[in-house]
Amino acid sequence: MAKNLNFPNAHKLPLAQMSSLFKELINFSILLAFFSLQALFILQKREPICHFLPALLLLLLTIAKQYIFSSPSPLYLVDFSCLKPPNFCRVPYSTYLEHVQMLDFLDKESVAFMSKVLTHSGQGEQTYLPPAIHYIPPKSSHQEATKEVQIALFPVLQDLLLKTKISPSEIDILIVNCSGFCPCPSLSSIIINKFSMREDIKSFTISGMGCSASALAIDMAKNILKTHNNSYAVILSTEILSTGWYPGKEQTMMVLNCLFRMGAAAILVTNKKEAKKTAKYKLLYSLRTQRAFDDKGYYSAIREEDSDGFTGVTLKRDLLQVAGETLRSNITILGSKLLPYTELMLYMISIIKKKYLNKSTEIHVPNFKRVVQHFCLPASGKPVIQEIGKGLKLGERDMEPALMTLHRFGNQSSSSLWYELAYIEAKERVKKGDGVWQLGMGSGPKCNSLVWECIRPILGEADRGAWADSIHRYPVGKSSS
């Protein structure tokens, strides 16, 4: 009977046993060295103080051993893939507005409002919506949402597996994030079933985390991998829109109908030491902050029912102010870890001067461009991107990845950060040693930062991936190439 049992992770057992044996061998060697020295000093009748030397050596070797074996391996980003939705899902402005005009529950004022939001959103004519939203009226059934999962997540994961040449059975940890659709079985179970993954895979599905969820999932994977050596983790990031359509007339709830678009990303990270030779990036810092303790922040973007009983996400007027406060706290903490001392000193001096000497003094904005060369900002809308860029004193070229991603693909929630990184790679701007800052902001409100270091040259990305058919047309507008 035992011979017929299939252990999918059996190949790791000899490695674990060898590692344990190696540690025991080191412990034995340290003790042997200690007692050998003590015996030698006794035979040579050395001074009593000499007997402290082996004890000191034992202590130093023990500390060194603990440091070597307890320090976690770096987190490497091996590669990632972004979904290019099917062409039949494309929705130009004219098509979108023609469809909403045919919805009998919307009046001319509502259509005019949606047209205004679209016009000022920063989106182009090539964005995508899932098939369920193309119906008149849109369908919001569980069945349609499940179809969207299959259209979005299955191809993007398959593409990642082909790029990285790993099989589903090699994946040790799976994290799927989607805010608005939480089926049973879970999204991670749907993926495990489709790709026949191992029975001992560690799987997680996180929901309700908004546009910051993929950055949050990377931080989550980093912490899980601290206790799972020599492992692969895959993060799947998407937003299922089929169940998110708001069928009412409250303008504060209609905004998301205009802004969110179809997209998905698959990311492979690992703590395998050999990945240092082939991975694209190494994680330097990850930081999560939130302001859910503050009522103003908590209610600034919230899913609720309107007066007619229709469910949608309400965006309050003070949302931008709340986003600024959330971002400020995250940047302050990140800056203390990331920035050189000269920038921190200038910042502290400006605060002291403003508080005690001259209240009209402007607070010094630290120059993050001294340590980070590329920025992936929240693609929530053109005004938001420009406001964040202004606050960080970024130039047009720094904001370009976010603005062009918004123009080409729309706001794809948590996966937008990866389309922005794919844009920078397709433009061949990332050089070995460069720093990349991914900044995700979501409801809650919460703010998550990832800072990566490029560890190898990245070339040839313009010919593959979601940007392959359009990168030559970008940037559009005033942004420089």
Pair of tokens at residue 213: 């969820």
| pLDDT mean over 391-410 | 95
- Residue 436 and residue 451: Cα distance in Å, rounded? 6
Average pLDDT over residues 421-428: 97
pLDDT greater at residue 158 or residue 480: 158
The pLDDT of residue 8 is above 50 = no
State mean pLDDT over 122-128.
94
Task: Tell me which CATH code domain 76-473 carries.
Answer: 3.40.47.10
Lowest pLDDT segment from 40-44, 199-203, 221-225, 434-438: 40-44
pLDDT tens figures, 274-322: 999 999 999 999 999 988 888 888 888 889 998 889 988 888 888 888 8
Averaged pLDDT for residues 440-468: 93
Share of the chain above pLDDT 90, in %: 56
Taking only the tens place, the pLDDT of each residue in 43-64 is 666 666 665 666 666 666 666 6
From residue 460, give the alpha-carbon distance in Å to each of 197, 277, 286, 350, 427: 31, 18, 28, 45, 9
Q: pLDDT value at position 358?
A: 74
pTM of the model as a whole: 0.84
Report DSSP state, residue 96. Answer: H
Work out the pLDDT band at 270, boundaries 50, 70, 90.
very high
Average of per-residue pLDDT across 427-447:
93
> Token pair for residue 404?
């062009």
Query: Closest by alpha carbon to 311, among 390, 253, 237?
Result: 253
- Residue 350: the pLDDT is 77
Q: Is-cis flag, bond preceding 185, omega within 30? A: yes
Structure confidence at residue 324 as a pLDDT band (50, 70, 90): confident
Residue 300 contacts residue 314 (beta carbons within 8 Å): no
Phi, psi of 142 (to 5 degrees): -60, -40
Lowest-pLDDT choice from 123-132, 275-284, 332-341, 393-402: 332-341
Q: Which of 12-21, 73-82, 117-126, 261-270 has the lowest mean pLDDT?
A: 12-21
DSSP 201: -
Per mean pLDDT, which range of 204-208, 380-384, 471-475 is the poorest?
Answer: 380-384
pLDDT at 141 over 60: yes
For 360-412, give the DSSP string: TPPPP---GGGT--EEE---S-HHHHHHHHHHTT--HHHHHHHHHHHHHH-B-
- Of 68-82, 368-382, 399-413, the range with the lowest mean pLDDT is 68-82
With a cut of 50, say whether residue 2 has pLDDT above it: no
Confidence (pLDDT) at 97: 92
Choice among 56-60, 262-266, 361-365 with the minimum mean pLDDT: 56-60
Q: Where are the domains of the chain?
A: 76-473
Torsion angle, alpha carbons of 97, 102, 107, 112, to 10: 10
Mean pLDDT, all residues of the chain: 86
Asked if the model's pLDDT at residue 88 lies above 90, the reply is: yes
Cβ atoms within 10 A of the Cβ of 211, count?
26
Q: Quickly list H helices, 81-134.
A: 93-101, 108-121, 131-134
